[in-house]
Amino acid sequence: MEVLSRIIKIINTLVGGNLLLILFIPLVIVLIIAAIVGSVIGAILRFFGIIPDIPSAPDDIEEQITNAPGMTALDLPLAYVAIYRLAEIQTNVPWMLLAAMHKAATDCGRNMPEDDSDTSDDPNPIGQFKFKQTFWSGESWDHDEDGKITESDFDLTNISKIQEGNGWGKDIDQDKKADPEDADDAIISVAYFLQSKGAKKGATDDIIRQAVSAFSTNNEFVQQAMNYYHQLQADPELQNE
């Protein structure tokens, strides 16, 4: 009894006579012991496979989503299908057309153009749809005959400059820049352009082709996009679209 009395007296001195704090200390000790025991038991159960490990998200999760097999024969990334559909709701442009053009341009972002590339078919293409710089930022800026803006240090993602130049680039994800390499911005920008050309749901093939041709003068791209568009329309999984 004398030893117990001394222990209580020492604890009382340390906590300044606060009864609640006296009761709190054992509770903390119990919780710590319980946490340790729980961790040990959990480790044992996972070791024997009784409960599964919960994997952490990989660093390249966005790349894996982009490259995962899609819902159709074209292997459209499911994450992008959601964006195509949202763009259709906002503009009435068929989501299958957006998907077809995206597939024809860069295989839905899997084959992006290299910086400062320059080919005869797609001069200075940028971003998810191999845009001309003047398409994205506007014809008002000084540019060469291929649509490359010649002003030095020109920021293609600057929203104010795009609006000033009457370009089609848009900042749909509201990150303060209109980025042609960002799928959200790129898809909605193309959708609004096609809308201006009459490429809406129910439009004839001729109107659709004219709208795609207005976007790109590359006949090979136009034909490929139309082929993909017809392929999506004929996909049994999408018959109810």
Domain boundaries of the chain, sorted by first residue: 2-47, 61-238
**From CA 98, how far away is CA 85, in angstroms rounded?**
9
**Both tokens of residue 59?**
């660093």
pLDDT recorded at residue 100: 97
pLDDT recorded at residue 117: 45
* Closest by CA position to 127, among listed 107, 144, 106: 106
List Cα–Cα distances, 32 to 28, 38, 45, 130, 241, in angstroms.
Answer: 6, 10, 20, 58, 57
pLDDT recorded at residue 237: 80
pLDDT recorded at residue 146: 86
The helix/strand/coil state of 149 is: strand
Amino acid, res. 16: G
List Cα–Cα distances, 99 to 115, 145, 214, 224, in angstroms.
Answer: 23, 29, 17, 12
* Closest by CA position to 85, among listed 95, 75, 71, 73: 95
Q: What is the mean pLDDT of each run of 10 residues along the chain (241 residues)?
A: 56 54 55 63 54 47 54 85 95 97 96 63 78 95 91 93 96 93 96 98 97 96 97 84 59
Under 8 Å between Cβ of 208 and 229: yes
C-alpha gyration radius of the chain = 30
**From CA 146, how far away is CA 210, in angstroms rounded?**
20
pTM of the model: 0.69
What residues pair up with 131 in beta bridges, in sequence order? Answer: 126
pLDDT recorded at residue 206: 97
**In the chain, what is the straight-line distance between the N-terminal and C-terminal CA atoms, in Å?**
83
